[in-house]
A and B are shown apart, each in its own frame.
Chain A
Amino acid sequence: GAVVSQHPSWVICKSGTSVKIECRSLDFQATTMFWYRQFPKQSLMLMATSNEGSKATYEQGVEKDKFLINHASLTLSTLTVTSAHPEDSSFYICSATPQGWDSPLHFGNGTRLTVT
């Protein structure tokens, strides 16, 4: 149980275009989902906390207009990278937990974004 599906697993786009990444909890409801960014051989950097039905909470230094997060239902959060540039190329991972805090996170398999 507690499966998180992330789609797409990889995407290549041109500079200036926007890319949407979906994160779904398949067998549980998630009022909160987390979006991370990971550079090669580095740790996960929390970008934002996605809250169902309300605005996302962004970490310091993360541009909310650049990385749009929508959490319209209890099973779906989306991250849209707007006007992508090569420096946005990275590995993006989402996670959620069915039991709130004090319980393990379940991760999607990540999305490799390459902006050309």
Chain B
Amino acid sequence: SQQGEEDPQALSIQEGENATMNCSYKTSINNLQWYRQNSGRGLVHLILIRSNEREKHSGRLRVTLDTSKKSSSLLITASQAADTASYFCATDNYGQNFVFGPGTRLSVLP
């Protein structure tokens, strides 16, 4: 069954604006990861946040995790056209497997 569910499914913003994507999941997790996929390519790992962490930063990326609500958010600040891609959250269920959400398609308009 689907574990991660991203929201929104699609997002269009202007260059320079911030983009926020949310992810919800259903079961206990060991960690939650965010990935980016450019069209027709493989996925690139962005950030891994563990279940005992609440917030993590990497450059213009900020990820939060709320285990009580079983949700996570990815914030991209000062977006650039190169950020246009699909973003997926994936949950690691203690080594059972990685389950990917349906993704958010982000379009950053110049």
Show the binding face of A for B, using Cβ within 8 Å.
Answer: 4, 6, 34, 36, 41-44, 46, 49, 91, 93, 95, 100-110, 112
Contact = CB atoms under 8 A, between A and B. Distances in A.
Interface size for chain B: under 10, 10 to 19, 20 to 34, or 35 or more residues? Answer: 20 to 34
Contact of B48 (A41, A46, A103): A103
A114 to B, nearest CB: 13
24 contacts: A4-B42, A6-B42, A34-B98, A36-B100, A44-B88, A44-B100, A46-B98, A46-B100, A91-B40, A93-B42, A93-B43, A95-B42, A95-B43, A100-B95, A101-B94, A101-B95, A102-B30, A102-B95, A104-B33, A105-B33, A107-B42, A109-B41, A110-B40, A112-B40
Contacts of A93: 42-43
A106 B40 CA distance: 16
Contact of A101 (B30, B40, B43, B100): B30
B105 A106 contact: no
B48 A42 contact: no
A108 B102 contact: no
B100 A43 contact: yes
A41 B30 CA distance: 27
A80 B43 CA distance: 22
B103 A105 contact: no
A49 B93 CA distance: 14
A102 B100 CA distance: 15
B92 A102 contact: yes
B99 A46 contact: yes
